[in-house]
Amino acid sequence: MTGLLTGDRLGPLESSEGEFTTRFAAHAAEGLLYPQREGSPLLEFAAGGRVLYLFDRNGPYAAAPGPARVIVHGVLEEFTRLAPEDAAEEALTSVGISQVEGRGQVVAVQRSVCVVQARLPLVLAAFTALPALAPGDWVAFRTAPPLHGFTL
């Protein structure tokens, strides 16, 4: 994959957990939270046929096990807009304990943040400006660890 993000750094990706949760609540993934291990900051979340380990952004032990809606947020390490002929089915693969790579369709775009449907909705952000994107575009990406989880 090509397209390592470079360029002028933008400001922070969020002003608070509450603001971020409110802004992206409509893009939460539905799945199942497993019981949290004592002392672990990671949520184990099953959605879209994958089990993801998410850094718990709502505080220790705030999330109850069971059915849940979670905003899955990743910071982009690599990102490429795909040509229409390269668009294919959605893909999402874990490449580390809390890191993913995949391919999917853009659902929404806000300056340095885009929501991508890749087996589940992912809120992907960059510290630099993203290439020109519009809903319906297809992209390939890899996130830096850890993925973050904001429970609703």
Mean pLDDT of 18-40: 91
For the chain, give the longest Cα–Cα distance. Answer: 47
CA distances from 115 to 34, 122, 130 (A): 25, 6, 12
Answer yes or no: is pLDDT of 109 > 80: yes
Answer yes or no: is pLDDT of 58 > 60: yes
pLDDT computed for residue 36 by the predictor:
81
| 69-80: pLDDT as tens digits | 999 999 999 999
Of 54-58, 101-105, 144-148, the poorest mean pLDDT is in 54-58
Across 4-28, b (16+ Cβ under 10 Å) vs e yields ebeeeeeeeebeeeeebbeebeebb
The first and second tokens of residue 103, run together, are: 């391919």
DSSP state of 132: S
Answer yes or no: is pLDDT of 9 > 60: no
Residue 1 CA neighbour count, 13 Å, CB half: 18
From 53, 34, 27, select the one nearest 124 (Cα to Cα): 27
pLDDT computed for residue 13 by the predictor:
58
Mean pLDDT of 4-9: 46
Give the strand pairing for 113-117 and 29-33.
Answer: unpaired
| 129-144: pLDDT as tens digits | 888 999 999 999 999 9
DSSP state of 58: T
The band of 64, judged by pLDDT with boundaries at 50, 70 and 90, is confident
User: Higher pLDDT residue, 17 or 141?
Assistant: 141
pLDDT computed for residue 7 by the predictor:
47
Contact (CB, 8 A) for 124 and 115? yes
